[in-house]
Chain A
Amino acid sequence: MSIPSVSRRNFLRVSMIAGGGMLVGFSTLGNDEKQELDGTPFSPNAYIKISPDGTITMMSPNPEIGQGVKTSLVMLIAEEMNVDWQKIRVETAPLDAKYGSQTTGGSGAIRSRYTKLRQAGATARVLLIAAAADTWGVASADCYAENGSVIHRTSGKKLSFGELATKAASMPVPANIPLKDPKEFKIIGTRIKDVDAQAIVTGKPLFGIDTRREGMLFAVVARPPAHGKKLQSFDDSATLKVSGVKKVVQVKSSVAVLATSTWAAIKGRAALKINWEDASKLESTADHEKAFKELLSKPAATPNRNDGDVDAAMSSATKLLDVYYEVPVLSHAQMEPLNFYADVRDGKAELYGPTQVPQNLVATVARELNIPAANISLGLPRQGGGFGRKLRPDNGVEAALISQAAQCPVQVQWTREDDMQNDFYRASGMFRFKAAIKDGNLEAWQQSFACLSNGRSPDTYPAGALKNLRIESHSLPTNIPTGPWRAPTHNVQAFANECFMDEVATELKKDPVALRLELLKKAKEQPVGRLAYEPDKFISVIELVAKISNWGKSSPNTYRGFSTWFSFNSYVAQVVELKMEKGKPKITKVYCAVHCGKVVNLSGAENQVQGAVVDGLGHAMYTKLTFKDGAAVQTNFGPYNFVKMRSTPLDVEVAFVPSEENPTGLGEPGLPPIAPALANALFAATGKRFRKMPFADDIQFA
């Protein structure tokens, strides 16, 4: 484990493996230096290892949390290398500064590594070709790589990558290695199945929760039962009598029970007698809602954006719209409850577990344990979902502290209830939207947002398309911890924005799709102020979704809602189609059009968008978390109502706008537009506006 460094540059580096083979990795020294490395086991700071027996191992540098990077990042290497995809083994890299930032969040892994990983693959290919050419005494230009072999064009001679690897490692690395023209791609843009598919369907121990090590104890932790409470005192005498319980340790304001099984630890925790004391105010959801309303009754001190003269346009309007939208707190509820393995002893720490922020986690553990970061190793398992929860390193840090206090290796397991009470929640909030309409035109638009965290909204459409526009935000101080949740802020703003746009369209008696196109045309031709998006790309997804959904064509008992959004540099437009079954809406189909640059893995990309749609629909329909006196009211699935198969549309059709541009984000952008598309479809079906999530509070779904 090395200390993250920003001062040195990382160069690609090719090395020979002792005993044969080739390694394409990094060097912090310089790219011309060659060094013998011990080839077994796989050196962790490499992208590619080719063994003489032909095995090719590739490292995926970012943690896999369900966004598909373990497959798609490696596709980038494989594409440029011309390997046989079937022969590749893939591992997730452990934390190593040489991989650059290994943070998984912000839909950024593919975006940031698109070129670099292709360069690694291309370097390997060029050297393998050079090695073959040298062996045959022919020119490199007369040879090519295909399916894991190098072939001499005229003679048809052929050597496999495995046979060439050792020699390739000794060939000089050319300075400029051109990357493929996207038109030549054979792997990128195709449908590739998840590299772990077989292991997943057979129940192999892939996840952090599956960690089992010699001498390890299972721990569960009693943490404060409400935000605003802290530990005063505890009595563990009954706990220590529970069979299987070995130790009880206090860590900060929590008490950990260590036992020989998870169940014994759970029972031991239940037997603790703990006194909690109030440290700060115990907040409730009802108070938050009242406070939001109050904040929204006054203008914010400084608007985030203020184009034209909104007040003047409002006062001369013939019709004024003024409505509120509300969104609840949400838990991340990633399917794998938090856990972490830690073995801290002799000033060293071995860590293994789910996190989206490996670097931050190690830095925090080093600080909290007061040991050098160089003494900490961190392995990264496949993770049962992330959605932003593990952008905080608390699960790993807590495990390390417990292991240090108990002086033994420990697997800390959170129960679902622990997870829901101790989340960094999606903040609840309230929007107030106003629009001024005059002579059938939208003259001004104002959005005010109050929420539990920093409510600054993304500066996106319709900004740029309207002469008079104001965006402002207020934040409500709170002791409820909040944090990013899949497509942060976008996931609430798109809802309010796109529902309100639908209301405006109704008021203007315009088709909702036509209204968006009209606005984007204005933004393109006469942009007002800063333009954060490209109107043409926006238009491309709107037109595409209108086409695949046959927008404008009506059929009996079919109601539709439309919405579009721009986030993480990607554009998405969606249409929700529903039927009424005995007065209850049933979502039948969803159409999505996406512009995300070049699609890397068609199967994975489509899966991300379909998943985001189901995720977004489910939360819009059913899910909320409320607080009573600082405690989560919904502490497990069931009360925390979650989408199931019966509410899942029969089909989610996804179409990508063809593009050869570098990929943009995709793990998140599919989510924001779906809630408003559903609300707008519900309006079409019922004539009622749904301005507060979850909608199931106001209507029963089939």
Chain B
Amino acid sequence: MPKYNFTVNNKQVSVEADADTPLLWVLRDQLNLVGTKYGCGVAQCGACTIHYNGSPVRSCQFPVSAVGTGKVGTIEGLSEKGDHPVQQAWIEMDVAQCGYCQSGQIMAAVALLKKNPKPTDEEIDSTITNICRCGTNVRIRKAIHLAASKGGKL
């Protein structure tokens, strides 16, 4: 099996995996970073959203062989103390129901705010295409606005 060295959450990692292995399963099964979730495997739900060089990527459709020298960021590395403004906004709005989709939602929201610090409802609606089966969408939208209004270091 080929060997891959790359950076996850600013740490150097080394894994052996088939070239076509989705990064999702490398993160979850080999690196024990299980905050990145599996929901569909076909880039439809967003539960597996990670950051690749700061951009949101659906890791279920991103083979480990494509990582190269790019930087991978997961929910576990978003902040040291779990106090990223988006994480705080999520807690403040009490967004989660089952919570399963939320790490992907947060990763997508962080990437959106990095590009667009004050998104409108419409910009949120067209950018955040993750699925929440519990229907927390209304609170997700509010939490993104709340994080945006706090500004700070996104």
Interface residues of chain A, those whose CB is within 8 Å of chain B, are: 64-68, 191, 193-194, 196-198, 200-207, 209-210, 212, 218, 243-244, 260-264, 267, 333-337, 382-387, 413, 415-416, 603-604, 607-608, 610-615, 618, 636-638, 642-646, 648-652
Contact = CB atoms under 8 A, between A and B. Distances in A.
A153 to B, nearest CB: 36
Contacts of B25: 261-263
Contacts of B139: 607, 610
B91 A198 contact: yes
B141 interface: yes
B75 A194 contact: no
Q: How large is the interface on B (under 10, 10 to 19, 20 to 34, 35 or more residues)?
A: 35 or more
A337 B121 contact: no
B99 interface: yes
Contact of B133 (A200, A334, A610): A334
Contacts of A336: 37, 39, 98, 100
Interface in B117-154: 121, 124-126, 128-141
B106 interface: yes
Contact of B94 (A197, A244, A384): A197
Given A382-B98, A642-B45, A645-B128, 18 more contacts: A66-B99, A67-B97, A193-B94, A194-B99, A196-B99, A202-B76, A209-B34, A263-B18, A335-B98, A335-B101, A384-B100, A385-B133, A607-B136, A611-B97, A612-B135, A636-B41, A637-B39, A643-B135
22 contacts: A66-B134, A191-B94, A194-B96, A202-B82, A203-B35, A207-B37, A210-B34, A218-B29, A243-B1, A261-B25, A261-B29, A335-B37, A336-B39, A416-B41, A607-B97, A610-B135, A610-B138, A611-B136, A636-B44, A642-B133, A644-B130, A648-B141
A618 B106 CA distance: 21
Nearest to B100: A384
Contacts of A645: 124-125, 128-130, 137, 140-141
A197 B90 contact: yes
A300 B130 CA distance: 45
B75 A202 contact: yes
B98 A383 contact: yes
Contacts of B75: 201-203
Contacts of A264: 18
A383 B130 CA distance: 19
A65, A218, A607 — most chain B CB neighbours (10 Å): A607
Interface of B: 1, 17-18, 21-22, 25, 28-30, 32-42, 44-45, 47, 74-76, 78-79, 82, 87, 90-91, 94, 96-103, 106, 121, 124-126, 128-141
A210 B75 CA distance: 14
A644 B97 contact: no
A651 B45 contact: no
B99 A637 contact: no
Contact of B138 (A201, A413, A648): A648
Given A263-B25, A416-B39, A200 B96 contact: yes
Interface core residue of A267, A648, A649 (most chain B CB under 10 Å): A648
B76 A206 contact: no
Contact of B37 (A194, A209, A612, A642): A209
Contacts of A636: 40-42, 44
Contacts of B91: 193, 197-198, 201
B113 to A, nearest CB: 15
A384 B99 contact: yes
A613 B130 CA distance: 18
B132 to A, nearest CB: 7
A253 B44 CA distance: 30
Residue among B35, B45, B100, B140 with the most chain A CB within 10 A?
A: B100
Task: Rank and list the top 8 A-B pairs by shortest CB-CB distance, nearest first.
Answer: A203-B35, A66-B98, A384-B100, A614-B135, A203-B75, A611-B135, A200-B99, A637-B44
A455 B127 CA distance: 41
B154 to A, nearest CB: 15
Contacts of A203: 33-36, 74-76, 103
Contact of A335 (B32, B121, B134, B140): B134
A206 B37 CA distance: 11
A244 B26 CA distance: 13
B107 to A, nearest CB: 9
Contact of A68 (B22, B32, B97): B97
A425 to B, nearest CB: 15
Contacts of B135: 610-615, 618, 643
Contacts of B74: 203
Contacts of A618: 135
B100 A637 contact: no
A608 B36 CA distance: 25
A344 B138 CA distance: 43
A494 B37 CA distance: 34
Contacts of B124: 645
Nearest to B33: A203
Nearest to A612: B135
Contacts of A416: 39-42
Contacts of A337: 38-39
Contact of A607 (B22, B32, B94): B94
A212 B25 CA distance: 13
Given A203-B35, A203-B103, A636-B40, A335 B132 contact: yes
Contacts of A67: 97
Contacts of B121: 650
A146 B95 CA distance: 30
B42 A200 contact: no
Contact of A212 (B32, B35, B36, B38): B32
Contact of A201 (B1, B18, B106): B106
Contacts of B33: 203
B13 to A, nearest CB: 15
Contacts of B102: 200-201
Nearest to A641: B44
Which of the listed residues B47, B124, B134 has the most CB atoms from chain A within 10 Å of its own CB? B134
Nearest to A639: B44
Contacts of B133: 333-335, 384-385, 387, 615, 642
A65 B124 CA distance: 27
Contact of A637 (B40, B76, B138): B40
Contacts of A200: 90, 96, 99, 102-103
B50 to A, nearest CB: 11
B37 to A, nearest CB: 7
Contacts of B138: 610, 614, 648-652
A335 B29 contact: no
A209 B32 CA distance: 12
A168 B91 CA distance: 35
B43 to A, nearest CB: 9
